[in-house]
């Protein structure tokens, strides 16, 4: 019903307003959309910019002849004469690339964003920027984002994004509009996003508009490439052979049109082999559209298997991961596009420890998302996107111990049936299913007024089970539902001032009250190259992960809904900042923020086991504030950024639920409170063949809770301590997070060389991680069974050399 | 699980560095040692025990002294009169440490791990090789820090205990009368089982499980057994530790002791659900668990013991013991925390279950030295000779068929101490002990009430058709099969006696 209203109301509105011009801007060579292209109507001196999908709209255009100029650095400027006669025009345009450097194209898009976007704390990264950054073995979007002043990492092994003190579960991570719940491989060493398939990634570190909801800290919106629809390699025609049966046989060939080419074609492929994985990406044309498929798989496990086969021994353990991404786009007609996107990723870790007791450990987890989007693009000044998506995140652990693994081999006349059976087992299962239906309408009323509006229905199914020794120890199931709608306006009240008010209203079926989240963004341009911005907003979150505070690695996320009847997590953002466009590609920005969390949830360390479902979590508050400075530059052959961030994050949680906040134990700096961080990320094009990348981070060490004494102690974690009260000589702790590891310092460099190997064009890339071999402490482990006690530090990455080869087919 | 992540990463990528603890002195320099008190009423055994132990400074230099002196600093002659003792002096010494560190099997060096040269090529550089300790402590003939049997429990426990306190537990009966039970310190007040060094501690046979005693306060004999089994009474704890400078420590509030669990059968569950007190549970169960034993067929699937408790008792300690026929005593097998899941909680009753491992345990060695068993090469000829001491490991013949489970319930206070392990030890919600200034004291005063159920695993497959279904012999857990395929367990098809609940899924 809602949709019918939209279909009726919007055309009526647009009729009242007048004629419009709209269409897509694409690359002539490969058909990929050109985001943020600048389009000007010369006679009226009005301009607009294409969105991330290359779509542009002029909402009101007078009748008559106009000249449209389309400009994008890196492409030939195009001018086209058009005549408007009281009808909405649809003009799709293809721009021809010039030989200019890709970086300049990026700069051009960035300038358009600088001029048109009100969003504060925004950063866009392209595929190329991600791939040029030095990285551990493979380029990774999360690792690149961690060089931004608003983002930090807890350690080298954890790619989780900590944005302005928020825990990693507070980030909304979208791939083609679909939410991803556990975007990590190998315990967080890598993200699940293969850098090759990323077209654009927009990161909003706070104060994000109301069209995004359900998270407290940030939004990472990744758009996958659509694929090359232009350079099909299938032949236009095929030879058909007719054979005469009589001897001697005559072969008559004739040409026939290759009908397959109309529906499917292959344009190009590329591959990449690194120390970690082998990757591929293929793309081509589809009926009125394009397709793209990418995938990667680690192969370390294959070498391990070969090694143990050679030694004729059992493998003690193995690990691999894979992920694939498929995207298909087709235009049913000029006004309707269908886009299907699918992402699958899986990790598997298996360990088998042989001894007098056999231990088998099998751990697999993964994400699977499917997303069908329908874009309705009338020849008018609005666009409607309807999206149905399903995300499934699954995590299984099987842990089995066989105390008598070698029974029955001795002299016995009995029938031994014990092979394969186990004595103790632990199974953990966590499932998150999210079926999401949403619709988004973008409507441009005039050049100065536009709005986004939409609604969303989220149907979740969460299931967490622990089965120990055949007994179901924990089972928490829930089916939360979240209904939301939003409206977000952009008003240009004067040439200098943009105002972006918005509101998001949500209903969570486990909480009685309606949640109203207003947002307001303001941009003021006192001069054309200076943008002063402010943003204030309230944000709510309905799910949280229970493994937040003390984790070193993030192998998996245990997602849980906010308990029944409890207020969802809530945070208020206040951000002030300014951005100055020094020159093409050179900007400087300064932002300050204050975030106040009125309710955050954490795992309850002292739950009531007779009422575990309602007491497994507890709420607290937090506040974060900081200042961030970022200088982005693009000078000659050198590009990148340097940044500094100051931040402070304090949490207040009544951990023992006694209603009194203990100042040493319950009001404390967060685990990832890092007062000072300097980052730099540089890329230098030495010549046509070589490029050099350098990244450096220097910052405060992470907090930890110091050990101040030792005593024998009991506790469920030290199994058997009741039977042996002296088995656990454990720590006595001081003030929570009251100490800090030494300062963190790491410099990585990468050197790339274009080359032809085995006849394939490609690029060889060498990288050195932590080139100074700085000892960055991951943790301290105490051994109290010595006088005095001993302490050992375990480090993060030492110096590591990696290399990879990227090739094109 | 988090430890597992950590281990994996450390193996793969981590670099380890031993640090000087003085770098951390700003953290621990102001810490003053405290007491940790575990005061436990044990109704099932009609007694109580109070463990009062000291905490230690990080830079304490006395507790682990890297000497093997279990039996003190005595002469060689005196040492040799002690069974299993070794004297650690040279010929010029009149007296020296006497302990249980055996130079022939425990001289593994400061890493505590025997060096291994898998392919005997003379180097320690191949995969799986373990090099001798770089500090030269391996096979140096003298006891070194961190070698097995060095600074063992026998040596350190006396230094941990505070035996100078005056301890009592006051019982206030339901009629308001107060009784006081005084405690006294006993050097061997309690015991636990410890796995001796065998080169592998994961699955020791009975001979390698030692009983270690520890010192604690136990009730005066005047207190009487009834003193500790009054479920309607309130108990309070009092300790005067002024002699060691810790002053008076008391329980914050009186406690009541927890009721034991009641073992039930699967058929009892429906009746039990409507119970609202312990007496109802007892009258509703069909198992006479205090006298009878349960029986399970070896290799049978999904066999469980079940028990019921009255809410809020939903947390337990589950401990399994196995019968050491040779020494005619039970030995500790394994334990873990237990919970009644929410879907097993009905009105006032919580039901819990534990899956039985329907397999025998290999509790005995074969009494002979086998290849790879650790031995004392007393004549240093590189091989085991008759009469040389060796550590007998499992003989791969599982023989232990008799076990019991002991299920403990906790008083509220002890439950908090045990299960809320993520809170600080002196958190006011974790401990119910307070000093004279009402500051929390590490530990807890509470009760652990237990109930036992014995069971035996019956191997049906050894019985022929005549005995298989004889209830006197196989206790109704076996049945005769005229023709059955045991694939994929074993390549056998034909007649056999099997557990009633047998399924080849057992092998899958």
| Average pLDDT score over residue span A609-624 | 86
Indicate the residue among A103, A129, A151 that finishes a domain. Answer: A103
Indicate the residue among A103, A134, A154 that finishes a domain. Answer: A103
Decide if B374 is inside a domain.
yes
Lowest-confidence region among A704-713, B10-19, B390-399: B10-19
Residues A255 and A178 in one domain: no
Q: Which helix (H) or strand (E) holds A680?
A: strand A676-685
Residues A85 and A133 in one domain: no
Q: Return the beta strands (E) in A403-529 as ranges.
A: 424-444, 449-468, 471-478, 481-494, 497-508, 514-527
Residues A242 and A372 in one domain: no
Write out chain B residues lying below 8 Å of A398, CB-based: none
Best mutation target, B189, B397, B439, to test chain A (most A CBs within 10 A): B397
Best mutation target, A275, A308, A404, to test chain B (most B CBs within 10 A): A404
Strongest mean pLDDT among A3-17, A102-116, A544-558, B491-505: B491-505
In chain B, the number of structural domains is: 2
What local confidence, expressed as pLDDT, does residue A321 receive? 87
Calculate how close chain A gets to B448, using CA atoms only, in Å.
Answer: 10
Q: A354 or B216, which is more confident?
A: B216
- CATH number for the domain that contains residue A92: 2.60.40.1120
Please determine, for residue A429, whether its predicted confidence score (pLDDT) is greater than 60: yes
Write out chain A residues lying below 8 Å of B190, CB-based: 725
Residues B378 and B494 in one domain: no
Decide if B376 is inside a domain.
yes
Decide if A586 is inside a domain.
yes
Kindly indicate the confidence band of residue A417, based on its pLDDT and cuts at 50, 70 and 90.
Answer: low
Residues A242 and A294 in one domain: no
Decide if B113 is inside a domain.
no
Average pLDDT, chain B: 89
Q: Return the beta strands (E) in A567-615 as ranges.
A: 569-583, 586-603
**Chain B neighbours among A 319-378 (CB < 8 Å)?**
349, 355-357, 361
| Average pLDDT score over residue span A622-642 | 91
Nearest chain A residue to B191, by CA: A724
- Option in B15, B63, B343 nearest A787 (CB): B63
Kindly indicate the confidence band of residue A487, based on its pLDDT and cuts at 50, 70 and 90.
Answer: very high
Please determine, for residue A409, whether its predicted confidence score (pLDDT) is greater than 60: no
Residues B332 and B465 in one domain: no
What local confidence, expressed as pLDDT, does residue A243 receive? 60
Kindly indicate the confidence band of residue A250, based on its pLDDT and cuts at 50, 70 and 90.
Answer: low
What local confidence, expressed as pLDDT, does residue B215 receive? 96
What is the percentage of chain B residues whose pLDDT exceeds 70? 95
| Average pLDDT score over residue span A759-784 | 88
Residues B373 and B350 in one domain: yes
Calculate how close chain A gets to B508, using CA atoms only, in Å.
Answer: 6
Query: B354 at the A interface (CB within 8 A)?
Result: yes
What local confidence, expressed as pLDDT, does residue B179 receive? 95
pLDDT tens readout for residues B214-251: 999 999 988 988 999 999 999 999 999 999 999 999 99
Residues B305 and B380 in one domain: yes
Decide if A110 is inside a domain.
no
What local confidence, expressed as pLDDT, does residue A3 receive? 45
Query: B180 at the A interface (CB within 8 A)?
Result: no
Decide if B131 is inside a domain.
no
Residues B453 and B468 in one domain: no
Please determine, for residue A339, whether its predicted confidence score (pLDDT) is greater than 80: yes
**Record: contact B354-A469, CB cut-off 8 A:** yes
Calculate how close chain A gets to B467, using CA atoms only, in Å.
Answer: 15
Decide if A723 is inside a domain.
no
Q: Give the tokens for residue A228.
A: 């090359």
In chain A, the number of structural domains is: 4
**Record: contact B58-A665, CB cut-off 8 A:** no
Please determine, for residue A423, whether its predicted confidence score (pLDDT) is greater than 60: no
| Average pLDDT score over residue span B190-213 | 80
For B480-493, b/e burial (b = at least 16 CB within 10 A) is bbeeeebeebbeee
What local confidence, expressed as pLDDT, does residue B451 receive? 95
Residues B332 and B406 in one domain: yes
Kindly indicate the confidence band of residue A793, based on its pLDDT and cuts at 50, 70 and 90.
Answer: very high
What local confidence, expressed as pLDDT, does residue B488 receive? 79
Kindly indicate the confidence band of residue A548, based on its pLDDT and cuts at 50, 70 and 90.
Answer: low
Query: A255 at the B interface (CB within 8 A)?
Result: no
Lowest-confidence region among A359-373, A434-448, B81-95: A359-373
Residue in the structure block whose two tokens are 């089982």:
B193
**Record: contact A415-B55, CB cut-off 8 A:** no
Write out chain B residues lying below 8 Å of A470, CB-based: 302, 304, 353-355
Residues A39 and A164 in one domain: no
What local confidence, expressed as pLDDT, does residue A7 receive? 45
Please determine, for residue B375, whether its predicted confidence score (pLDDT) is greater than 70: yes
What is the percentage of chain B residues whose pLDDT exceeds 90? 60
Query: Could you tell me how many CB contacts below 8 A there are between chain A and chain B?
Result: 297
Residue in the structure block whose two tokens are 């001894």:
A355
Residue from B76, B202, B52, B345 nearest A472 by CA: B345
Kindly indicate the confidence band of residue B336, based on its pLDDT and cuts at 50, 70 and 90.
Answer: confident
Decide if B94 is inside a domain.
no
Query: B240 at the A interface (CB within 8 A)?
Result: no
What is the percentage of chain A residues whose pLDDT exceeds 90? 34
Average pLDDT, chain A: 83
- Option in B14, B336, B342 nearest A778 (CB): B14
Separation of alpha carbons B342 and A430, rounded Å: 17
Please determine, for residue A427, whether its predicted confidence score (pLDDT) is greater than 80: no
**Record: contact B4-A790, CB cut-off 8 A:** no
Helix, strand and coil content of chain A, in percent to the nearest 5, comes to: 10, 55, 35
Residues A173 and A40 in one domain: no
Separation of alpha carbons A406 and A412, rounded Å: 13
Decide if A709 is inside a domain.
no
**Cβ-proximal residues to A16 (8 Å cutoff; 6+ apart), any chain:** none
Please determine, for residue A11, whether its predicted confidence score (pLDDT) is greater than 60: no
Q: Give the tokens for residue A505.
A: 């209203």
**Chain B neighbours among A 685-744 (CB < 8 Å)?**
706-720, 722-727, 732-734, 738-739
Residues B454 and B367 in one domain: yes
What local confidence, expressed as pLDDT, does residue B14 receive? 55
- CATH number for the domain that contains residue A788: 2.40.170.20
Residues A142 and A209 in one domain: yes
Decide if A791 is inside a domain.
yes
Q: Is the dihedral of CA B64, B66, B68, B73 positive or negative?
A: negative
Decide if A414 is inside a domain.
no
Indicate the residue among A164, A195, A224 that finishes a domain. Answer: A224
Lowest-confidence region among A365-374, A566-575, A643-652, B119-128: B119-128
**Record: contact A790-B421, CB cut-off 8 A:** no
pLDDT tens readout for residues A730-755: 899 999 999 999 999 999 998 988 88
Residues B452 and B312 in one domain: yes
Please determine, for residue B477, whether its predicted confidence score (pLDDT) is greater than 90: yes
Lowest-confidence region among A111-125, A194-208, A450-464, A542-556: A542-556
pLDDT tens readout for residues A516-534: 999 999 999 899 889 999 9
Give one DSSP letter per residue of B94-135, joined into a string. SEEEEES--TTTS-B-TT-S--B-TT-SS-S-STT-BPPPTT
Domain with A243 in it? 233-266
Kindly indicate the confidence band of residue B297, based on its pLDDT and cuts at 50, 70 and 90.
Answer: very high
Q: Is the dihedral of CA A608, A610, A614, A617 positive or negative?
A: positive
Please determine, for residue A61, whether its predicted confidence score (pLDDT) is greater than 50: yes
**Chain B neighbours among A 16-75 (CB < 8 Å)?**
none
| Average pLDDT score over residue span B22-48 | 94
**Record: contact B299-A410, CB cut-off 8 A:** no
- Option in A397, A708, A797 nearest B28 (CB): A708
Residues A380 and A239 in one domain: no
pLDDT tens readout for residues A251-280: 666 677 777 778 888 888 888 887 778 888
Decide if A436 is inside a domain.
yes
The answer to whether the CB of A328 falls within 8 A of the CB of A289 is yes
Best mutation target, B2, B10, B27, to test chain A (most A CBs within 10 A): B27
**Record: contact A610-B422, CB cut-off 8 A:** no
**Record: contact A708-B63, CB cut-off 8 A:** no
Q: A36 or B191, which is more confident?
A: B191
**Chain A neighbours among B 3-42 (CB < 8 Å)?**
4-6, 8-10, 13-19, 21, 24, 27-28, 30-31, 33-34, 36, 38
Please determine, for residue A707, whether its predicted confidence score (pLDDT) is greater than 80: yes
Query: B442 at the A interface (CB within 8 A)?
Result: yes
Q: How far is CA A174 from CA A142, A203, A223, A369, A720, in A?
A: 13, 10, 8, 11, 45
Please determine, for residue A60, whether its predicted confidence score (pLDDT) is greater than 50: yes
Lowest-confidence region among A313-317, A485-489, A632-636, A768-772: A313-317
Strongest mean pLDDT among A115-119, A203-207, B365-369: A203-207
Lowest-confidence region among A325-329, A377-381, A450-454, B142-146: A377-381
Q: Give A330's DSSP letter.
A: E
What local confidence, expressed as pLDDT, does residue A421 receive? 44
Q: How far is CA B496 from CA A408, A550, B492, in A?
A: 17, 55, 10
pLDDT tens readout for residues B391-430: 887 777 888 999 999 999 999 999 999 999 889 999 999 9
Please determine, for residue A506, whether its predicted confidence score (pLDDT) is greater than 80: yes
Domain with B502 in it? 460-507
**Record: contact B335-A357, CB cut-off 8 A:** no
Decide if A734 is inside a domain.
no
Residues A320 and A439 in one domain: yes
**Record: contact A610-B53, CB cut-off 8 A:** no
């Amino acid at each position: 019903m809602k949709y019918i209203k939209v279909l009726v109301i919007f055309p009526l509105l647009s009729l009242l307003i007048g004629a419009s011009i709209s269409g897509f801007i694409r690359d002539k060579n490969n058909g990929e959309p050109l985001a943020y292209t600048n389009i000007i109507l010369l006679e009226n001196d009005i301009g607009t910019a294409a969105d991330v999908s290359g779509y542009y709209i002029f909402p009101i255009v007078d009748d008559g002849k106009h000249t449209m100029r389309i400009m994008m650095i890196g492409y030939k400027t195009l001018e086209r004469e058009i005549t408007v006669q009281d009808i909405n025009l649809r003009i799709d345009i293809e721009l021809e690339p010039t030989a200019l450097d890709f970086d300049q194209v990026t700069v051009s898009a960035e300038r358009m964003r600088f001029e048109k976007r009100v969003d504060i704390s925004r950063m866009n990264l392209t595929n190329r920027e991600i791939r040029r950054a030095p990285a551990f073995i493979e380029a990774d979007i999360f690792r690149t984002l961690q060089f931004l002043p608003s983002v930090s990492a807890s350690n080298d092994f954890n790619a989780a994004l900590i944005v302005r003190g928020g825990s990693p579960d507070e980030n909304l991570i979208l791939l083609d509009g679909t939410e991803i719940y556990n975007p990590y491989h190998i315990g967080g060493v890598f993200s699940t996003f293969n850098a090759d398939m990323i077209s654009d990634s927009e990161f909003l570190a706070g104060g994000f508009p109301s069209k995004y909801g359900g998270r407290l800290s940030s939004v990472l919106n990744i758009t996958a490439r659509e694929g090359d629809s232009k350079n099909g390699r299938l032949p236009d025609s095929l030879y058909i052979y007719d054979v005469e049966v009589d001897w001697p046989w005559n072969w008559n060939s004739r040409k026939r049109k290759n009908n397959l080419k109309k529906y499917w074609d292959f344009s190009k492929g590329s591959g990449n082999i690194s120390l970690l994985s082998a990757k591929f990406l293929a793309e081509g044309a589809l009926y009125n559209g394009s397709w793209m498929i990418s995938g990667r798989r680690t192969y370390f496990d294959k070498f391990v298997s070969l090694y143990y086969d050679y030694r004729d021994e059992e493998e003690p353990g193995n690990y691999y991961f894979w992920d694939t991404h498929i995207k298909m786009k087709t235009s049913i007609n000029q006004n309707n596009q269908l886009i299907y996107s699918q992402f699958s990723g899986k990790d598997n870790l298996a360990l088998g420890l042989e001894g007098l007791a056999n231990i088998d450990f099998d751990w697999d987890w993964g994400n699977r998302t499917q997303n069908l989007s329908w874009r309705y693009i009338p020849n008018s000044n609005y666009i409607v996107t309807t999206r149905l998506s399903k995300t499934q995140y699954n995590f299984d652990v099987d842990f089995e111990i066989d105390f008598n693994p070698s029974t029955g081999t001795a002299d016995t006349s009995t029938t031994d049936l014990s092979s394969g059976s186990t004595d103790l087992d632990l199974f953990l299962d966590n499932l998150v299913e999210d079926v999401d239906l949403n619709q988004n309408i973008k409507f441009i009323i005039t050049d100065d007024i536009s709005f986004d509006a939409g609604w969303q229905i989220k149907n979740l199914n969460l299931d967490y089970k622990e089965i120990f020794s055949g007994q179901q120890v924990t089972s928490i199931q829930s089916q939360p539902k979240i209904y939301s709608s939003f409206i977000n306006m952009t008003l240009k009240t004067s040439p200098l001032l943009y105002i972006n008010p918005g509101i998001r209203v949500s209903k969570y079926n486990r909480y009685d009250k309606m949640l109203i989240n207003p947002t307001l963004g303001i941009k003021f341009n006192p001069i054309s190259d200076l943008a002063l911005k402010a943003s204030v907003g309230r944000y709510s979150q309905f799910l949280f992960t229970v493994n937040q505070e003390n984790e070193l690695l993030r192998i998996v996320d245990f997602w849980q809904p906010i308990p029944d009847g409890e207020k969802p997590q809530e945070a208020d953002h206040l951000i002030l900042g300014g951005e100055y466009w020094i020159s093409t590609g050179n900007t400087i920005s300064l932002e300050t923020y204050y975030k106040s969390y009125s309710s955050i949830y954490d795992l309850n360390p002292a739950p009531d086991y007779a009422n575990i479902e309602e007491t497994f979590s507890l709420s607290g508050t937090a506040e974060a504030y900081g200042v961030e400075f970022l200088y982005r530059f693009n000078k000659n052959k050198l590009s990148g950024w340097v940044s500094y961030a100051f931040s402070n994050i304090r949490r207040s949680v009544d951990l023992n639920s006694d209603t009194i906040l203990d100042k040493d134990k319950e009001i404390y700096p967060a685990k990832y409170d890092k007062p000072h961080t300097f980052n730099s990320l540089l890329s230098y094009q030495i010549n046509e063949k070589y490029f050099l990348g350098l990244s450096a981070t220097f910052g405060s060490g992470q907090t930890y809770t110091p050990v101040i004494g030792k005593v024998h102690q009991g506790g469920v974690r030290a199994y058997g301590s009741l039977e042996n009260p002296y088995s656990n000589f454990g720590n006595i702790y001081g003030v929570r997070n009251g100490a800090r590891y030494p300062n963190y310092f790491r410099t990585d460099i990468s050197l790339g060389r274009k080359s032809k190997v085995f006849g394939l064009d490609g690029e060889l890339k060498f990288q050195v991680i932590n080139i100074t071999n700085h000892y960055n402490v991951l943790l301290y482990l105490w051994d109290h069974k010595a006088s005095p006690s001993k302490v050992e530090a375990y480090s993060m990455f030492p110096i590591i050399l990696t290399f990879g080869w990227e090739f094109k087919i | 699980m988090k430890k597992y992540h950590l281990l994996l990463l450390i193996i793969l990528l981590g670099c380890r560095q031993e640090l000087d603890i003085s770098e951390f002195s700003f953290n621990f320099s102001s810490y003053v040692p405290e007491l940790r008190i575990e005061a436990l009423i044990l109704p099932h055994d009609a007694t109580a025990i109070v463990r009062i132990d000291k905490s230690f400074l990080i830079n304490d230099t006395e507790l682990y002294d890297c000497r093997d002196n279990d039996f003190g600093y005595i002469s060689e002659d005196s040492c040799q009169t002690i069974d299993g003792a070794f004297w650690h002096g040279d010929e010029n010494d009149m007296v020296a440490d006497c302990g249980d560190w055996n130079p022939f099997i425990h001289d593994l060096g400061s890493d505590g791990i025997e060096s291994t040269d898998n392919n005997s090529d003379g180097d320690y550089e191949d995969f799986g090789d373990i090099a001798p300790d770089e500090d030269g402590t391996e096979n140096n003939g003298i006891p070194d820090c961190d070698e097995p049997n060095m600074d063992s429990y026998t040596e350190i426990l006396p230094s941990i205990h505070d035996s100078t306190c005056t301890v009592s537990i006051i019982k206030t009966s339901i009629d308001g009368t107060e009784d006081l039970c005084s405690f006294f310190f006993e050097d061997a007040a309690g015991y636990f089982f410890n796995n001796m060094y065998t080169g592998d501690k994961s699955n020791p046979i009975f001979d390698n499980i030692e009983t270690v005693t520890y010192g604690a306060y136990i009730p005066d004999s005047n207190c009487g057994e009834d003193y500790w089994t009054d479920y309607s009474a309130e108990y309070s704890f009092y300790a005067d530790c002024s002699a060691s400078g810790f002053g008076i420590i008391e329980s914050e509030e009186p406690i009541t002791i927890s009721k034991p669990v009641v073992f039930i059968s699967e058929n009892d569950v429906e009746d039990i659900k409507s119970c609202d007190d312990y007496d109802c549970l007892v009258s509703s169960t069909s198992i006479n668990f205090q006298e009878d034993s349960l029986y399970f067929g070896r290799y049978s699937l999904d066999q469980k013991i079940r028990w019921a408790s009255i809410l809020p008792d939903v947390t337990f300690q589950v401990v399994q013991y196995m019968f050491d026929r040779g020494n005619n005593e039970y030995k500790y097998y394994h334990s873990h925390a237990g919970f009644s899941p929410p879907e097993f909680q009905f009105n006032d009753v919580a039901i819990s279950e534990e899956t039985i491992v329907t397999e025998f345990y290999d509790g005995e060695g074969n009494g002979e030295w086998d290849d790879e068993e650790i031995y004392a090469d007393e004549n240093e000829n590189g091989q085991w000779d008759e009469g040389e001491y060796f550590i007998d490991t499992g003989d791969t013949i599982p023989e232990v068929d008799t076990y019991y489970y002991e299920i403990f319930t906790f008083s509220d206070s002890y439950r908090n101490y045990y299960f809320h392990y993520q809170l600080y030890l002196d958190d006011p919600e974790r401990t119910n002990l307070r000093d004279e200034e009402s500051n929390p004291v590490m530990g807890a005063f509470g009760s652990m009430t237990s109930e036992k159920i014995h069971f035996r695993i019956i191997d049906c497959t050894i019985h022929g058709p005549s005995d298989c279904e004889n209830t006197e012999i196989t206790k109704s857990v076996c049945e005769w099969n005229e023709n059955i395929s045991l694939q994929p367990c074993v390549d056998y098809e034909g007649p056999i006696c099997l557990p009633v609940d047998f399924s080849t899924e057992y092998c899958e």
